[in-house]
Amino acid sequence: MQPAPPITPALPMTARTVLAGVETARALLRVPADVIVAWIETGRLLWVWDISVRGGSVRELRFWSRELIAPDTIAGLGAAQVIDLIVGAAQRARLHSAEVAQILLCSRPHLMRLMRSGELTGALNGHARWIDRASLIEFFQRRLLGGI
pLDDT of residue 14: 54
**Residue 146 and residue 46: Cα distance in Å, rounded?**
4
What pTM did the predictor assign? 0.85
Would you give per-residue pLDDT tens digits along the chain (148 residues)?
566 554 444 455 555 578 999 999 999 999 999 999 999 999 999 999 999 998 677 899 999 999 998 888 899 999 999 999 999 867 789 999 999 999 999 999 999 999 999 999 999 888 899 999 999 999 999 999 975 5
pLDDT of residue 5: 53
CA dist 50 to 6, 53, 106, 120, 127, Å? 35, 9, 12, 14, 28
Assign 3-class secondary structure to 9-25.
CCCCCCCCCCEECHHHH
Beta strands in the chain (DSSP E): 19-20, 48-50, 61-64, 94-96, 122-125, 128-132
